[in-house]
Structure 1
Amino acid sequence: MQPLQVEAVDAVLASAIPFIVLVLAIANVATRYLAHRRHVRQADEHGADGIERYPVHTATTLALVFATFYYVLVDLHFGIPLAAFTLTAFVADFFEYEARLVEARTDRPLEAPKASIGASLFVAVYAGFIVLVVLLGPFWSIVI
């Protein structure tokens, strides 16, 4: 058995994980948008003390991180960069949330979380590229 080789029981999940990561990445971008809208509404109504994390966004972010870590076990070549991009989005999201709290405390209008949006879009684009490689790989290997 080679290092990082998944068991036969995980063969179905291993073949579906690129698609799962893509769906989670797109869901993460959508929930990031919804979380920002909710934060703006909460800041307008209650100020900085009323801003809370959006649980759906937190769940999709954690699911994306764990799915990406599993994908590293399946495919090291594409998994490591994807994990780096996903962790970047995770860390950016953490700091953007804290920045929204500071903006709300100083009575400034809440800006869009540009860094975390950019990082999560990059994750979604790279996950889409991986899915494209998985789908077109057999056909492309015939041409080459």
Structure 2
Amino acid sequence: MLPSPLEFLVPLGALESVADVLPFAILAVVLVNLLTRVLAQRSYEQAAAEGDDEAMGRYLPHEIVNVLLIVLSFGYMVVHPHGGMVLSILVLGMVISDFFEYEARTVEARNDMELDRPNSALVASVLVVAYAGYQALFFVIEPIWSAIV
């Protein structure tokens, strides 16, 4: 049997060996993402309070966690196509909203306005946490779910 072309790009055997742990890892990274979002907002507020809007760069730990979350959700899509696709779309939506929220914070800082909370990114994060929790902790509600469905 010929190997799939995807096998040369993605180590399918390695992904299948961690397929059971992957939802828990994604849930943990999503929760770390929430923490880094809070720390990033504090960093932006501190830079704005100092009046140094040029120093208000992207918060590197948050950006690293975003990239890690994208990679993990794409890896999850390989082993669980349906759940991985839904999770990947939610994660990409969250990262895109992060991008625009950062730009909004820089505009507010440049115009000496009070910095607002990243509301759209927070809502997107809640959706990602909810779905990642559903994927990782499905075994908790599986008996009830199976009785209904």
Q: Normalised by the shorter chain, which TM-score bucket?
A: 0.7 to 0.9
Structure 1 gaps of 5+ residues are: none
Give the letter aligned to residue 99 of structure 1.
A
- Asked if residue 77 in structure 1 is aligned to residue 82 in structure 2, the reply is yes
Summarize the Cα distance change of 1:141–1:124 in structure 2 as closer, same or farther, 3 Å threshold.
closer
Taking the aligned partners of 2:48 and 2:146, their CA distance within structure 1 comes to 56
Percent identity reads: 33
Within 5 A, what are the aligned runs for 1:33-112? Answer: 33-112=38-117
RMSD: 2.4
Aligned residues between the structures: 142
SS at 1:26's partner residue? helix
Structure 1 stretches of at least 4 aligned residues deviating more than 2 Å after TM superposition: 3-12, 134-137, 139-144
Larger helix fraction of residues:
1
Structure 2 gaps of 5+ residues are: none
Deviation at 1:116, TM superposition (A): 0.6
In the TM superposition, what whole-angstrom CA distance separates every residue of 1:62-120 from its partner, at most 9, and x where no partner exists? 10010000000010121111111000000000010000010011110100110011101
TM-score, normalising length from structure 2?
0.85
Taking the aligned partners of 2:12 and 2:39, their CA distance within structure 1 comes to 38
In the TM superposition, what whole-angstrom CA distance separates every residue of 1:10-45 from its partner, at most 9, and x where no partner exists? 333111100010001111011101100110001111
Give the letter aligned to residue 48 of structure 1.
D
